[in-house]
Chain A
Amino acid sequence: MHGSGISIWFFIGVLLIIYGALILGYGIFELVTGQTANVILANLHAPLWWGALLLALGLFYGVRFRPGRNG
């Protein structure tokens, strides 16, 4: 699915970048302020590393399958 249109992987990349940025941002806020959500294992700071993972995957797919780049 390249060439004639935008690849589905690009859409996925964009979505993951936005989600990753939002969740990572919240994770940083939690870490900096110490105000953690009322959930179990909040001490593991899941939003921080899960958000970073989503952002990294999003950047990979967003750049790798950006419109106009065959691959």
Chain B
Amino acid sequence: MLGIAQDIASGFIPAFATKSVALGAPSLAHLSLLDLAVIAIYFVIVIWIGFHLKSMSNTSEEFFMAGREMTAWIAGLSFVSANLGSLELMGWAGSAYQYGILAAHWYWIGAIPAMLFLGMVMMPFYYVCKTHSVPGYLKLRYGQGSSTVAAVSFALMTVLMSGVNMFAMAEVMKIVLGWDLNFSIIVSSLAVAAYVALGGLRSAIFNEVLQFVLIWGGALLVPILGLIEAGGWNGFKARLAANIAKGVTANGDYTHMWRSMGHFADNPMGIHWTGIVFGLGFAISFGYWTTDFLVVQRVLAANSLRSARLAPVIGSFFKMAVPFIVILPGLLGLVVLQNADGSLMHLVGENVVAANPGAGLHSYNEVLPLMMVRYLGPGLLGLGITALIAGFMSGMAGNVSAFTAIFTYDIYQPHIVKNAPDEHYVLVGRIVTVLGVVISIGAAYAVMRAAGIMDYVQALFSFFISPLLGVVLLGMFWKRATKAGGFWGLLIGTLTSIGLWAWVKADPSALRYVAISPDAKDMAENMYRALWSVSTSVGVNVIVSLFTKPRPLSELAGVVYGATPLPKEEPVPFYKNEWFWTAIAIVIFLALNIYFW
């Protein structure tokens, strides 16, 4: 982040941040009746889906795993959609405005290799062992101890994240539309509680697919019209270069992804290519996409192993396309957004906006809504806003449905009521869904009272993901890994992450040691911390395993590479083969990185 101090010190704000279009207005956008109708229709459809699916969610397999009958397309779109929340859309559009196309790293190297690895390498093990969750896999591989640690931490973090999401949505609706915070929280939580409690995971997945279509339908027009206004990609680059030459836009390389990654000081993010490749591209990305149950749950609901393997591959193509509706609008905002007097609008950090109330400033995170308001008239604006609402709500639903499954399967069933009839667990699932929403509302109000909590919740989430990756990977691909190795690897890896985070929190100068450079900035810390914690997790697991007794090979069938006979898949034409599409995805991934090198 450039940060408030640097913004002010550079003289950026007084020079460029003059009156904006929305000066004095209570909100960015004003909705017409047509827009409100578009939003209302979305809610009607969502509740309709919930009621329709209620009759198809009677058994635990149906309620928690969507009956394992999702096609590759539905599972794939839901998989990628679970990570396409509105916070991400608005946040990364803002980052693109601030840092340029570097933000696309989080969509390409920060996602594609991990998604393809999940589909081609890891999915057979998750799918063949018929686990219902990632902690469920840990139980099969390492025993109850590691599973319970992962389940409790995941359940807690998931429901808190849902609350953070809920608060963030309410705040965005307040800024963009002027809606009351309580109104947004109550309406969205009631809708989510209704459709997830009624239809379970199937309902959450259906809404994610719906959200996916809405996001493209509502947001795709923005970059199209933006490119027309800017004169195409070359026209955009020419206008940007002219603005930089005139000094009205901060100097920097906004259109290349790798050439400024040679040193921490060469790019505004303060990151080195090793952090991007190994920290983001491996430790964070593989941790999130291959072990975070929120996304893996969608693929586990696929109707066959082939569908389960194809789903992440299908998702990877759409993930590669997302920068078109997220990063590109942020970049275009650099040259097309104008103040009322026709001068170039300059967006600033949230802190600067907060420190200058009434100055008509807009933050980086508002670039996407600002672009929507610029191009979208009645109806289309409602569609864009509906896409944002749908993104928030399906994000909440994803968290709540994952929380419900983990709590019921990995905490309630093994520790509280072990051998109840199936319908008992479905009832518990429905009750826990409502309970999860209630806890989320509590978390949302807690965040409202103390905004700092949001940072802590997000940091807490990051503590568990990377060490879990180390434990799952070793468990899946090393027969020698033992129960004690898994438990201590997970625990020490997590403590390493917490320790490094606390060290930098207490003494910001410690970042130079964590990220191995005095020029490193905040974002680099996350990457290197993840890298250290996954390395520690693997290292501890290996050492402890070598000194403890491994399980016999016969007990590892279905969960470890080399001990698992993979089912033979029926031959299909090449265009239906997952390896063919994986190869195409790799080629496109490489081509994009080379083109924007």
Residue positions of A touching B, CB distance < 8 A:
1, 4-6, 8, 11-12, 14-16, 18-19, 22-23, 26, 30, 36-42, 44, 46-47, 50-51, 54
Contact = CB atoms under 8 A, between A and B. Distances in A.
B377 A44 contact: no
Interface string B186-226: 00000000000000000001100110011001000100010
Nearest to A13: B213
Nearest to B376: A39
B566 interface: no
A46 B225 contact: yes
B44 to A, nearest CB: 9
Interface of A is mostly: helix
B391 to A, nearest CB: 15
A23 B382 CA distance: 10
Given A1-B74, A39-B375, A46-B375, A15 B42 contact: yes
Given A11-B49, A19-B379, A40-B225, 16 more contacts: A5-B55, A8-B74, A11-B48, A11-B210, A12-B210, A14-B45, A15-B42, A18-B41, A23-B380, A26-B34, A40-B336, A41-B225, A41-B375, A46-B377, A47-B380, A50-B221
Interface in B494-545: none
Nearest to B338: A40
A5 B383 CA distance: 27
Contact of B374 (A1, A4, A8, A39): A39
Contact of B379 (A1, A5, A8, A26): A26
Contacts of A4: 56
7 contacts: A1-B74, A5-B52, A15-B41, A16-B217, A22-B37, A23-B383, A46-B377
B123 interface: no
Given A8-B206, A16-B217, A41-B229, A47 B379 contact: yes
Contacts of A15: 41-42, 45, 210, 213-214
Main secondary structure of the interface of B (DSSP, over half): helix
Q: 7 closest pairs, A vs B, by CB?
A: A37-B377, A23-B379, A26-B379, A8-B206, A39-B377, A5-B56, A8-B209
Given A8-B209, A39-B377, A54-B217, A1 B34 contact: no
Interface string B317-339: 00000000000000000001000
Interface residues on B, range: 35 or more
Contact of B206 (A11, A16, A22): A11
A1 B70 contact: yes
Contacts of B336: 40
A15 B377 CA distance: 19
Interface string B2-30: 00000000000000000000000000000
A25 B584 CA distance: 40
B210 A8 contact: yes
Contacts of B53: 5
Interface in B348-386: 373-380, 383
Contact of A46 (B70, B373, B380): B380
A18 B386 CA distance: 14
Contacts of B71: 1
A54 B55 CA distance: 30
B377 A36 contact: yes
A22 to B, nearest CB: 6
A44 B225 CA distance: 9
**Quick one: which of B53, B69, B228, B377 has the most chain A CB within 10 A?**
B377
A51 B380 CA distance: 9
Nearest to A30: B377
A52 to B, nearest CB: 13
B38 interface: yes
